[in-house]
Amino acid sequence: MEAVAAVLPTLVPSGSAVVPRRSSLATVVPLVVVLLAYLGYLAAAGAILPGKLVDGAVLPDSSRLHYRCNGLLSLLLLLGLSAFGVYMGWMSPTVVADRGLELLSVTFIFSVIVSFTLYFAGIKSQHKSSSLRPHASGSFIQDWWLGVQLNPHFMGIDLKFFFVRAGMMAWLFINLSLFAKSYLAGSTNLSVILYQFFCAWYIIDYFIHEEFMTSTWDIIAEKLGFMLVFGDLVFIPFTFTIQGWWLLRNKVELSLLAGLANLCIFLIGYLVFRGANKQKHVFKKDPKAPIWGKPPKVVGGKLLASGYWGIARHCNYLGDLLLALSFSLPCGVSSVIPYFYPTYLLILLIWRERRDEARCSQKYREIWAEYCKLVPWRILPYVY
């Protein structure tokens, strides 16, 4: 009973992030304040810092949103401020690793509150634009889960774009806190370095190409409800770091050969993922832009069938899956726990691919049928 009593406090939000043996600002400030300060910084940085203004997709009412893509600058500035805070002793570099479960619970509660707020605000909306008018199904569960409005705003902030940015940055900061704890414990090895390097590369590369996000299905077509809010603020930062938590508690020694093989899988996944998304983004901006040095092959004047998109209809998913696998391989094969992310992603992307296929078949009809004949493979050529 005493053991249970000792464990329970770590599973719920506490009033403060207390770290024994060290006195810092982070040890006395409630985690709720830390979360709100983090989101407040991102809101202010997103509005103030310079960045490329990118046109969003044309919406059904012919309107178009505009996105300031300054995520990389916001990230670098926050990294600098955090490093300065650690240097001055105002915060502990391991505060997130020390209080991860508490921060998880605080963020989960926040995402639930936000999703209910979005639901009630959306239902009451009198706006007529495609972005803000209510797209309600009449089912409370469905509308709360999937959302009511396409692009809800708060104080001029596009919340859908904002939450994705917040989740991706949080992923990196959780990893850095785990790395600091591993380094201070003297347990940093090749497995830890590879995992941290792969994730950091992926996240920083995301912000370098942040404008590509504006042409994705989530931004263009998904409404903002609990599914996306929870996915961005909770699922991405806290489940995509499971490998980091695993390596913190389990020492895995990789051979140099295994490390090189892992690196090859990461690089191949990155080239396919980034290359495919870039080709799609460029094609949407300029349908005549060359693909791999040749004029693009276009089906029905709408569907790209060149480059990676001439190999498989959802080739970017293959790259994403290889990247996810490379994040887990440094953990070895002694447990399935570090492989939660690639397993989840495989299920998600097959489900999404099926949904995309049904939507495209209905939208493009004969054009889609012709495209499927030309490009028969869905994700992995000659397999699926």
Digitized pLDDT (tens) for each residue of the chain, 384 residues in all: 433 333 333 333 344 443 344 444 444 458 888 899 999 999 999 999 999 988 887 777 777 888 999 999 999 999 999 999 999 988 889 988 988 889 999 999 999 999 999 999 999 888 878 778 888 888 999 999 999 988 898 988 999 999 999 999 999 999 999 999 999 999 899 999 999 999 999 999 999 999 888 877 788 878 899 999 999 999 999 999 999 999 999 999 999 999 999 999 999 999 999 999 889 888 888 888 888 888 888 888 888 888 999 999 999 999 999 999 999 999 999 999 999 999 999 998 998 889 888 888 888 888 888 889 989 999 998 888
Predicted local distance difference test score (pLDDT) of residue 138: 86
Q: Are residues 230 and 268 in the same domain?
A: no
Q: What whole-number distance in Å separates Cα of residue 265 and Cα of residue 323? A: 7
Q: What does the radius of gyration of the chain's CA atoms come to, in whole angstroms?
A: 22
Predicted local distance difference test score (pLDDT) of residue 129: 81
Predicted local distance difference test score (pLDDT) of residue 23: 42
Range of the domain at 290: 254-383
Predicted local distance difference test score (pLDDT) of residue 16: 41
Among 251, 277, 295, identify where a domain stops.
Answer: 251
Q: Are residues 219 and 80 in the same domain?
A: yes
Q: Are residues 219 and 309 in the same domain?
A: no
- Those residues with Cβ within 8 angstroms of residue 1's Cβ, 6 or more apart along the chain or in another chain: none
Q: Are residues 185 and 264 in the same domain?
A: no
Q: Are residues 190 and 171 in the same domain?
A: yes
Predicted local distance difference test score (pLDDT) of residue 273: 93
From start to end of the chain, where are the E strands?
Answer: 52-58, 64-69, 153-154, 157-158, 298-299, 303-304
Q: How many domains does the chain have?
A: 2
Among 199, 231, 251, identify where a domain stops.
Answer: 251
Residue 325 placed within a domain = yes
Residue 330 placed within a domain = yes
Residue 265 placed within a domain = yes
Residue 14 placed within a domain = no
Q: Are residues 202 and 263 in the same domain?
A: no
Residue 286 placed within a domain = yes
Q: Are residues 178 and 263 in the same domain?
A: no
Q: What whole-number distance in Å separates Cα of residue 300 and Cα of residue 59? A: 21
Residue 291 placed within a domain = yes
Q: Are residues 66 and 188 in the same domain?
A: yes
Predicted local distance difference test score (pLDDT) of residue 20: 41
- How many CB atoms lie under 10 A from the CB of residue 256? 8
Residue 65 placed within a domain = yes
For residues 225 and 150, is the Cβ–Cβ distance under 8 A?
Answer: no
Q: Are residues 245 and 264 in the same domain?
A: no
Q: Are residues 47 and 128 in the same domain?
A: yes
Predicted local distance difference test score (pLDDT) of residue 104: 93
- Those residues with Cβ within 8 angstroms of residue 223's Cβ, 6 or more apart along the chain or in another chain: 135, 146, 147, 148, 149, 150
For residues 45 and 37, is the Cβ–Cβ distance under 8 A?
Answer: no
Q: Are residues 272 and 312 in the same domain?
A: yes
- How many CB atoms lie under 10 A from the CB of residue 301? 7
Residue 116 placed within a domain = yes
- Those residues with Cβ within 8 angstroms of residue 201's Cβ, 6 or more apart along the chain or in another chain: 266, 270
Among 226, 251, 276, identify where a domain stops.
Answer: 251
Q: Is the sign of the CA dihedral 134, 149, 239, 11 positive or negative? A: negative
Q: Are residues 265 and 352 in the same domain?
A: yes
Q: What whole-number distance in Å separates Cα of residue 313 and Cα of residue 378? A: 5
